[in-house]
């Protein structure tokens, strides 16, 4: 729960600190500008609020690891929701409107998460989660998107170290293997999820694991 709060709060603060010109820069999400990514974060915040307000009475069907679907290829941008996100982002017009909306709904999502009991069961995507597991999903989601946000913004603050470490643990569990300890948490996340290609020396260190990466999470 604390890891979610730190990661989510840091991501909101990073967006709040952007200059208007930053919204037109590319993000680490292929084909998305920073403004598109920020619009996606608004949708994430709405999903958190909706899920935390959707109690379930049955046993959990997934956890923070089994939530994720691993795809064979990266998103093409043709998914209807991805396409809608780009159109919505453009419709905001002014960057301050996007910043205001994310701060508004994102702060509410953070407060709702702080009030939720870790063992409460909630439903989303026709699945049931314990709140603690559901929020752990968003530790990885918010950490990866924080890295996407700052991919071309050298002066922007990085995600918190606790969130990077927890995200690495989750990613290793999803991959079913440990990543060499010589890799920093940030590099491990970027390489395994295909956000950057490994160098030749990194490929050599990964060995046969290099054939299993990247993992495209959805």
| Beta strand segments in 24-137, E | 70-71, 121-124, 127-130
Per-residue pLDDT, 77? 67
Q: Which residues have a Cβ under 8 Å from the Cβ of 173 and sit 6 or more positions away? A: 65
| Residue ranges in the chain whose pLDDT is less than 70 | 76-77
Per-residue pLDDT, 78? 73
Per-residue pLDDT, 75? 72
Query: Which two three-digit tokens encode residue 179?
Result: 């990543």
Model confidence pLDDT, tens digit, residues 49-106: 999 999 999 999 999 999 999 987 777 667 777 789 999 999 999 999 999 999 999 9
């Amino acid at each position: 729960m604390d890891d979610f709060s730190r990661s989510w709060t840091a991501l909101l603060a990073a967006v709040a600190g952007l200059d208007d010109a930053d919204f037109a820069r590319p993000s680490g999400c292929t084909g998305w500008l920073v403004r598109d990514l920020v619009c996606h974060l608004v949708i994430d915040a709405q999903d958190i609020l909706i899920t935390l307000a959707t109690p379930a009475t049955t046993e959990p069907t997934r956890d923070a690891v089994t939530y994720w679907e691993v795809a064979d290829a990266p998103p093409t941008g043709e998914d209807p929701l991805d396409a809608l996100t780009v159109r919505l982002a453009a419709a905001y017009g002014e960057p301050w409107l996007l910043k205001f909306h994310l701060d508004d709904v994102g702060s509410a999502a953070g407060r709702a998460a702080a009030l939720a009991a870790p063992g409460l069961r909630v439903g989303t995507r026709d699945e049931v989660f314990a709140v603690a597991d559901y929020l752990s999903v968003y530790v990885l989601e918010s950490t990866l998107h924080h890295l996407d946000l700052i991919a071309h913004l050298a002066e922007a603050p990085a995600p918190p170290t606790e969130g990077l470490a927890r995200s690495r643990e989750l990613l290793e569990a999803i991959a079913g293997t440990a990543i060499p300890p010589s890799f920093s948490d940030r590099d491990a996340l970027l390489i395994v999820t295909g956000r950057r290609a490994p160098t030749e020396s990194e490929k050599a260190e990964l060995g046969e694991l290099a054939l299993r990466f990247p993992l495209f999470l959805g």
